[in-house]
Amino acid sequence: MAFAPMGPEASFFEVLDQHRASLLAALKRGGGEPAGGGTHLASSSEVLASIEKVIQDVITSLARNEAPAFTIDNRSSWENIKFEDSVGLHMVSHCTTRKIKSDSLKSVKNFALILKILSMIYKLVQSNTYATKRDIYYTDSQLFGNQTVVDSIINDISCMLKVPRRCLHILSTSKGLIAGNLGYIEEDGTKVNCSCATAVAVPSNIQGIRNLITNGKFLLIVEKDATFQRLLDDNFCNKMSPCIMVTGKGVPDLNTRLLVKKLWDTFHIPIFTLVDADPHGIEIMCIYKYGSMSMSFEAHNLTVPAIRWLGLLPSDIKRLNIPKDTLIPLTKRDQMKLDSILKRPYITCQPFWRKEMEIMADSKMKAEIQALTFLSSDYLSRVYLPNKLKFGGWI
């Protein structure tokens, strides 16, 4: 497909091109993607065999007059999480587990729900059909109670069977958006061109998209939909062409994270985040870059440690003389979140991040990206981002 760049002169991208060269050199030194990169995508027959083994274990326990139980890796303990700069947060090979027992009042319902969803997954895989998490919830909304219960059980099953969630033939409805210099073909053969004036929804089956094409010099991850839409309105993708923009509309869903990972694996172009200068924004950036505790069992498929923090940096607030009355005091919850992030293992290898967070902690203030509009309504797209990209203002 053809793209018509309208962006700046080639010299604008010199620092970006140097950054990309250093990323590629680092990959080469590390022998390509990190060892173990990309969890094995189990075939349908392997998934069916794994489910059959789980059910066989249940039957064996019953035959012995024992109460069956499911053993699942404990995803809520930092003891089970290992940090590697090349992968992010991932589970250790021999981690502590928890048991979901069928003879315990506390866990018997969860045991029954896991069995029910396992049977649904088995039918989906066997018939080569797909369902969304929402579809599964609505098969018996009274039994499940709420969508969160279904989401948690599906993650538990994925962790227990040691297969990525998409191999279970369960999809989630995407909330993310993508725009800019990118084209691809969806699983059903639909050709998608993201260079149109409006954004395109992130596909619900990232595994199925193919023939990706871009001339993009960089990918910008935007924390909030409002900022993303403002950049679209300001024609940012064309002014900075060729580039790609993505938003997960806050905390990213699995599909948005999978797409960012796929774009990195396919093109190895620089990826930057634009988030609020607050603990919540930093947390979101960390999820894209290093992953989360709850999804650490699938880290190799989701994390992109090459991501850099472009803005809004706490140091930018002082540097740009953003007025104090546009800043917001940190709440007690913000301070707890900030303290929690500062204690995480990956901060030791990010001294510049630590410095920025310490600036925030000392000032006891946070700022939204919208604070830049005080300088001018289009300051973000006209001055702030172009200068950051041209002169290498990322960390």
Nearest in space to 317 (alpha carbons), one of 362, 352, 360: 360
Q: Is the peptide bond between 270 and the residue preceding it cis, with omega within 30 degrees of 0?
A: no
- What residues in the chain have per-residue pLDDT under 50? 1-2, 34-39
pLDDT tens track for 286-295? 999 999 877 7
Q: Which residue has tokens 């027959």?
A: 45
Tokens 């700069």 belong to 85
Tell me which residue of 155, 150, 46 sits closest to 91, measured CA to CA. 155
Cα 11 from chain centroid (whole Å) = 32
> What pLDDT score does 47 carry?
95
Catalytically annotated residue among 122, 130, 137, 138: 138
* β-pair partners for 137: none
**224: phi then psi, degrees, rounded to nearest 5:** -110, 145
Q: What is the pLDDT of residue 32?
A: 58
User: What is the CATH architecture assignment of 177-391?
Assistant: 3-Layer(aba) Sandwich (3.40)
pLDDT on residue 28: 85
Q: At 344, phi and psi to the nearest 5?
A: -75, 150
Tens digits of residue pLDDT in 83-131: 888 788 887 777 888 899 999 999 999 999 999 999 999 999 999 999 9
pTM beyond 0.95: the answer is: no
Q: Are 223 and 284 in contact (CB under 8 A)?
A: yes
Q: Where in the chain is the domain with CATH 1.10.10.10?
A: 44-171
Residues in the chain: 395
Predicted pLDDT at 360: 96
Q: Where in the chain is the domain with CATH 3.40.1360.10?
A: 177-391
Is there a catalytic annotation at residue 346?
A: no
The CATH classification of domain 44-171, taken from the options 3.40.50.300, 3.40.50.720, 1.10.10.10, 3.40.50.1980 = 1.10.10.10
